[in-house]
Amino acid sequence: MPDEPGARQPAVTAAAASAAGHGVPIGPAPAAGGDLCRGLRWKGMFIDSPPDPTIPNPHDGFCWCRHTLTCLGPDGKVAETAACRPGRSCYEAP
């Protein structure tokens, strides 16, 4: 039974959280703006639960590129919110 102590609770999916009116932190980092490269990734993009105001924002500034899977983009420059913008040779519009 789910109500028993120690029982596993079902995971909250992004769709369920959205339907329940909860925002899910998938998308650009809060202070990043809307012109970030589609290839930029950070761990907050993969948190699939409703936001909890008692837990600090998971965007710690560490990013990686989805093409290289490292902190460097295909052009050899650092993958970060300040640099992965229009004008960069590997930039992909959102």
State pTM to two decimals: 0.59
Q: What is the pLDDT, as a whole number, of residue 32?
A: 53
CA proximity to 63, closest of 49, 77, 75:
77
Domain count, the chain: 1
Q: Would the pLDDT of 63 be above 90?
A: yes
| Domain coverage including residue 37 | 1-94
Q: What is the pLDDT of residues 12-45, one digit of tens each?
A: 444 444 344 443 344 445 455 679 999 999 888 8
Number of Cβ within 10 Å of residue 37's Cβ equals: 23
The more confident residue out of 53 and 71 is 71
Q: What is the pLDDT, as a whole number, of residue 28?
A: 42
Number of Cβ within 10 Å of residue 84's Cβ equals: 24
